[in-house]
Amino acid sequence: MKWGGSKFLDLQRMPSRGSMVFQPLQIKNYQYAILGSDYSFTQVYFWEAGKAKFVKFQELNIQAPRSFTHVFVDKQDFLFASSFKGNTVIYKHIIVDLSA
């Protein structure tokens, strides 16, 4: 949805069967949306400015995720993913420059 001055306008839809958590996440200049589900892999979407929408970026294997938290420690970015049924998982945010 986007704000249309007096109401939200439908902008994009994402499959979310069994969704228990949907969180925005900003790391540096990167904007993500993370959709966690009890029935499938967690989907990470990346904001594609040229397309003006979130595009599928990565799948994470987290059992029954309940929350995601960005943590910045020692000049490094991490994503903490808590789980209802399994282990909490910590991911490191890595930028790979493919322009060279």
Distances from the Cα of 22 to the Cα of 17, 34, 46, 74, 84, angstroms: 12, 6, 13, 27, 15
Domain-located, residue 69: yes
Q: What does the pLDDT read at residue 1?
A: 58
What confidence tens digit (pLDDT) does each residue in 8-50 have? 888 898 888 888 899 999 999 999 999 998 888 999 999 999 9
Q: CA-CA distance, 22 to 65, in Å (whole number)? A: 10
Give the C-alpha distances (Å, rounded to integers) separating 82 from 13, 32, 77, 89: 25, 17, 16, 7
Per the domain annotation, does 33 fall within a domain? yes
Q: 62: how many CB neighbours lie within 10 A of its CB? A: 24
Residue 12 lies in a domain: no
Q: What does the pLDDT average to over 50-55?
A: 94
* CA neighbours closer than 13 Å in the CB half-sphere of residue 52: 3
Please tell me the predicted confidence (pLDDT) of residue 99: 82
How confident is residue 6, by pLDDT bands cut at 50, 70 and 90?
Answer: confident
**Domain residue limits at 35:** 18-92
**Residue 82 is assigned to a structural domain of this protein:** yes
4 within a domain of the structure (yes/no): no
- Quick: pLDDT tens for 61-99: 998 999 999 999 999 999 999 999 889 999 999 988 888
Instruction: Indicate the number of domains in the chain.
Output: 1
Kindly state whether residue 3 falls inside one of the protein's structural domains. Answer: no
